[in-house]
Structure 1
Amino acid sequence: MSANGTRQLVWAGGEDTFCLAKVGLIFDLEDKCKAGIGVIAARLESGAYYFNDIRETIRLGLIGGGKTPEQAMAAVKNHVDGNPLAHCQLVAYYVVQAVLIGVPDDPVGRKDDDPGKEPPAEAQQTGSSTTTDASDAPKS
């Protein structure tokens, strides 16, 4: 599981890095959504989400992934606002899950038979890449 909660996702016609696993970003998300991170995750998973659960998760995740606040807001305005939410719900869900449980196949916490042995090169990446169908969302 990823120690830093960073995830590469293909969405909105391109690939972006998302990361919410910074205390300040989690506090900001909880404040914007008026709920704890666990409640936000449950709402995203169940489909009982609020608009800000999706919008703010993506915006703050992009900021944590390295975009400026202006770039993140522009991406949200172009690919979340005014578009079908189901496309972006999956992106938001993956971003929150990376914070809560880590990223699959990350070498952190991996146990080998030989503790001094290096993990394979493909396991040394710091995140994962996932493709979602959100790239087909119409642009506003």
Structure 2
Amino acid sequence: MSRDGHVDLDLDGTTHRFRLGIGDLEALQEATGLGPAALLQRLHAGLSYRFRDVRDVLRLGLIGGGVPVPRAHAIARRLDGLPCIALIAKAALVLAAALEGAEDEPVGRPAAAAGPEGRIAFAAFYGAAAAMGLPAADLRAMSLWQLAAYIDGFNRARDPDAADAPTPQEEDALWA
């Protein structure tokens, strides 16, 4: 996967760049009522989802990948005539690319427990961005991996001699 969360995929004979930045993931969560990881799990496992969810992933991924909004909407409207299984697989790849980031360079701590339906609490992202002086527009354009790397860099710059944060297991042991 890529650091900026993009993936290039063929859609109806044309290669498009798909990318879901933080702002796109937030819009997707609002549109589907599901957190991105929960939606990915549902698509992958064949659990309950709507074709509209698949269309929303691909439409927002096209927009995040640089396709103009009117064109992305036009492409999304044509998806109904394409093979469903292939579209589900592409939507899953777009979500996986957005959530995974760079496999060779892990950053940040493991994610906290998700809310209902796997929803992400985006308010915490905006709070962290404000504390670091990162404009909201810049935050919304980042991938999750980029945000985690930004936070790691910010923390290291503030205190380069600080020990790494305790793991969740170490935190639990402190309270035992």
SS in 1 for 2:8: strand
SS in 1 for 2:101: coil
SS in 2 for 1:81: helix
Q: Is the 8 A contact 1:7 1:18 kept in 2?
A: yes
Q: Is the 8 A contact 1:17 1:65 kept in 2?
A: yes
The corresponding residue for 1:58 is 58
The corresponding residue for 1:90 is 89
| Deviation of the 1:41 alpha carbon | 0.7
- In structure 2, how many angstroms separate the alpha carbons of the residues matched to 1:103 and 1:45? 21
The corresponding residue for 1:100 is 99
Unaligned ranges ≥5, structure 2: 107-176
Tell me the TM-score normalised to structure 1 length.
Answer: 0.68
Q: Is the 8 A contact 2:12 2:82 kept in 1?
A: no
| Deviation of the 1:76 alpha carbon | 1.0
| Deviation of the 1:16 alpha carbon | 0.3
SS in 2 for 1:10: strand
TM-superposition CA deviations, 1:75-99 (whole Å, max 9, x none): 1111x12444212101101000001
Q: How does 1:12-31 map to 2 (within 5 A)?
A: 12-20=12-20, 22-31=21-30
Q: How does 1:1-140 map to 2 (within 5 A)?
A: 1-20=1-20, 22-48=21-47, 49-78=49-78, 80-102=79-101, 109=105
Please identify the structure whose Cα radius of gyration is greater. Answer: 2
Q: RCO greater where, 1 or 2, for CA within 8 Å and sep 6 or more? A: 1
RMSD over equivalenced CA pairs, Å: 1.8
Amino acid paired to 2:99: L
Tell me the TM-score normalised to structure 2 length.
Answer: 0.55
Identity in percent = 33
Q: Is the 8 A contact 1:59 1:76 kept in 2?
A: yes
Amino acid paired to 1:50: R
CA change 1:77–1:11 in 2 (3 A) is same
Q: Is the 8 A contact 1:6 1:103 kept in 2?
A: no
